[in-house]
Amino acid sequence: MSKITDHINQLREDFMKGSLNEVDIHKDPFTQFEIWLQQAIQSEMPEVQAMNLSTISDNKPSSRIVYLRRLNNHKFWFYGNYDSKKGKSLEENPNASLNFFWPELQRQIRIEGTVKKATKVNSDNYFNSRPLESQLGAWASAQSNKLSSRKKLENKLTELKKQFKGKEVPRPEHWGGWVLTANYYEFWQGRKSRLHDRLIYELKDKNWEISRLAP
């Protein structure tokens, strides 16, 4: 274990791929997010849609990676099981945070806001666009619940394949989307000597105020 610790302690990266200045960024944070997302896509890095979703339940934080599947006008959609740990956390406390990390560009974006369930039409439309195996998986898995064995899950999937063979798979009621509406953004650009650029947007009286944070 000490060798692993030594190795980690020796890892160093001097961030020199870009800068972030108040005069260069868009006044609207959603537009700025789209600009950076497009640049991440053009860089051909994997999993640009992956984001860390952090929630609070019982005064305890919890984080997991989910996929961004839709975005529009400060709203960010993701999908999953409403009965899962994240689903129960969001039901209890709708305040959440998203974090995108794009190491190839030495960038992070943190977005905070409130979450509510997506409309049934939206959830249906997305579910219907998923591959068959993913649709069946939503039925097979009681997400976040304890599972006695992998075999039990696989057997359940086999049963579902027989049940829905040749049929359209409907969206289960326990599965659907959420949408986070942003009220805070932080754009982070790595800089030399750990003097990183951090610019934040805060929503105040329906206007976005831009500030710089110390690294």
Residue 30 to residue 35: CA distance in whole angstroms:
9
In degrees and rounded to multiples of 5, residue 213 shows phi and psi of -105, 150
211: phi then psi, degrees, rounded to nearest 5: -135, 160
User: 3-state SS of 87-117?
Assistant: HHHHHHCCEEEEEEEEHHHCEEEEEEEEEEE
Please, are residues 175 and 169 in contact by the beta-carbon 8 Å criterion?
Answer: no
Length of the chain, in residues: 215
Helix (H, G, I), strand (E, B) or coil at 209: strand
End-to-end CA distance of the chain: 31
Which residue is catalytic, options 12, 69, 107, 194? 194
What is the spatial distance between Cα 170 and Cα 128, in angstroms, rounded to a whole number? 8
Closest CA to 98 of 50, 163, 28: 50
Catalytic status, residue 194: yes
What are the catalytic residues? 194
